Structure formats: structure tokens, C-alpha cells
A and B are shown apart, each in its own frame.
Chain A
Amino acid sequence: EAQVTQNPRYLITVTGKKLTVTCSQNMNHEYMSWYRQDPGLGLRQIYYSMNVEVTDKGDVPEGYKVSRKEKRNFPLILESPSPNQTSLYFCASSFGDRYTGELFFGEGSRLTVL
């Protein structure tokens, strides 16, 4: 089954404790992206990747890191989480070397930073 898989789905952590949210897709998509979604602010892009070893900042990259060592994986790293990073996070992927075309979303990861 074609899908985007995120882990963990739910996480409660404390300020400053490094964490990684994994994202994997099995559709051989070149484009992958991370979004956060907050009430009243909608979906905002954190980072995106056009292909392996190619990543770029989105609208809200501060406090986050990403890597794209393999085509299928695009982990989101919070080196020192803070309470303002409490949010619902979505990973998404798409065909082609650009994001034209349908975006396929993971189920979301709800993160709470205390």
C-alpha cells in the first residue's frame, strides 16, 4: 500500500530533550516536506527536500533540522525542543523534482513539549 509513515504519532517530552520524528514513504517520491499545524495559523512549511541531499528552509525553520540521506526517509530533528514547538506535525511527499502534483500526507505526529 502506498503510504507516508510518521513516528511517533504522539509524544510528550520536556524542554531541551532532543527528539527525532521519522518520516518514510514507499512511493519513490523525490519531493518531501514537513509542515506544522497550529490553531488559527493553518499548515506552515518547516523544511522541504527536492531530492536526496537537497534540503531547503520553508516558512518556519527555526529550531528544526532535517536530513535527506535516502530517497525514502526525511527525518525532522528538534535539537532542543521548546514549548512553542508543541504542535501537530505532518510529513508529505510528491512525485517529480518539484511539488507540482498531489501531496500525500502522513497521519501526523502530535508533539507536546513541557
Chain B
Amino acid sequence: GQNIDQPTEMTATEGAIVQINCTYQTSGFNGLFWYQQHAGEAPTFLSYNVLDGLEEKGRFSSFLSRSKGYSYLLLKELQMKDSASYLCAPDSGGGADGLTFGKGTHLIIQP
């Protein structure tokens, strides 16, 4: 089975930086996905980390520590459109587990 933990809700200010943490326990591990989901819309892919360390992609960066079962998503220069839910999804590598998503972190951006 899998256990994924991320904060339910976070609030941040426009222009600031926010870090969304995710801890996980899985029976196997290939890598970890982050998806963004605006209210009422489909999730969209943000990043996929396989190796330990930080991967930067524009305003968004994602970090992975395989040994600690820990990842975070870092959002810089926050914009109002970044208000969304952010889903952490460890890739356990096959079998009946499939790809399991965390419950998501609802990020609220205030002016």
C-alpha cells in the first residue's frame, strides 16, 4: 500500500514564494509526480522527479529525497492564477498499486 501526506491548505501572498511539502511511503518507487488542478478542471502535469535533488522549471521547482521519502514543490513570484490544488503522486513502479495521488494541497493566493 501507499501513504501520502501533504498539507490540506496553504495561503500565500502574490509575489511571494511558497513551498508545498509531500511525504510518502510506498512499496516500490520509480519517481514522483506533481500535478496542478484548478477548481473543476482536470489535473495538468507539472513535474516528474526521478533523481534526488532540485529540478527547476521556470517559476516552479521540485525537489526529491528518495532516502527520506520526501518531496516539495516550490513556487516563486506567485501569481493569482497559481491559486489551485497541487497533487503529489509517487510512482510505485507497477503492479496493482497503480499511480496513487495524494489528497492535494489547496493553495490560496491573496493580493
Contact = CB atoms under 8 A, between A and B. Distances in A.
Contacts of A58: 98
Interface stretch (B14-22, B40-48, B65-73, B74-82): B40-48
A59 to B, nearest CB: 7
Contact of B99 (A41, A99, A108): A99
Interface residues of B, number: 23
B107 interface: no
A98 to B, nearest CB: 5
Contacts of A43: 43, 87, 101, 104
Interface in A70-114: 90, 98-108
* Pairs of residues from A and B, 6 with the lowest C-beta to C-beta distance, nearest first: A42-B103, A105-B42, A43-B101, A102-B45, A45-B98, A99-B99
29 contacts: A33-B98, A33-B99, A35-B101, A40-B103, A41-B103, A42-B87, A42-B101, A42-B102, A42-B104, A43-B101, A45-B98, A48-B98, A56-B96, A58-B98, A59-B98, A90-B43, A98-B94, A99-B98, A100-B30, A100-B31, A100-B91, A102-B33, A103-B33, A103-B35, A103-B43, A103-B45, A105-B43, A107-B41, A108-B40
